């Protein structure tokens, strides 16, 4: 009897948890009244509107050079190529450098049309970009 009651409670709880939705909204909207047209244009290109759903990749994927197809990152609005180290571009960031200008322009256009920003992740755990004790 107790196990049947427990099973019902778990089932009902599971339904409520599955139906719950996540809502993300910024708490403090920043007003940029003092910015001119050029500054607003730069700001619009620099950062997607909150919330920021970021994903990155540094793993080699057979048959894919550079970022994955837009359809593979649906649901995210920032894709980070990794990594740019002190020694230069590595992993996905290096793959980006092997694409032709036309290929890079095509990828950027596809990501832009999907509302996904392309960025490069810098340093990672390999580099320590600060000076200790100085």
Residue 63 lies in a domain: yes
Q: What is the pLDDT along the chain (134 residues), one digit of tens a residue?
A: 556 565 566 655 554 444 444 444 444 445 666 778 887 777 766 666 678 888 888 777 777 788 899 999 989 999 999 888 888 888 888 999 999 999 999 999 999 999 999 999 887 677 765 655 55
Three-state DSSP string of the chain: CHHHHHHHHHHHHHHHHHHCCCCCCCCCCCCCCCCCHHHHHHHHHHCCCCCCCEEEECCCECCECCCCCHHHHCCCCEEEEEEEECCEECHHHHHHHHCCHHHHHHHHHHHHHCCCEEEEEECCCCCCCCCCCC
The whole domain housing 61 covers 44-126
Residue 23 lies in a domain: no
Residue 28 lies in a domain: no
Is the overall model pTM greater than 0.75, yes or no?
A: no
Number of structural domains in the chain: 1
């Amino acid at each position: 009897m107790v196990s049947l009651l427990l099973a019902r409670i778990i089932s009902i709880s599971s339904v409520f948890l599955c139906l719950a939705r996540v809502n993300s909204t910024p708490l403090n909207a920043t007003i940029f009244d003092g910015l001119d047209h050029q500054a607003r244009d730069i700001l619009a290109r620099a950062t997607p509107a909150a919330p920021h759903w970021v994903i990155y990749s540094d793993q080699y994927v057979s048959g894919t050079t550079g970022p994955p197809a837009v359809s593979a990152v649906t649901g995210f609005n920032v894709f980070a190529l990794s990594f740019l180290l002190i020694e230069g571009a590595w992993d996905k960031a290096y793959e980006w450098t092997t694409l032709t200008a036309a290929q890079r322009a095509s990828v950027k256009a596809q990501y832009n049309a999907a509302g996904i920003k392309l960025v490069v992740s810098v340093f990672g755990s390999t580099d320590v970009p600060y000076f200790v004790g100085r």
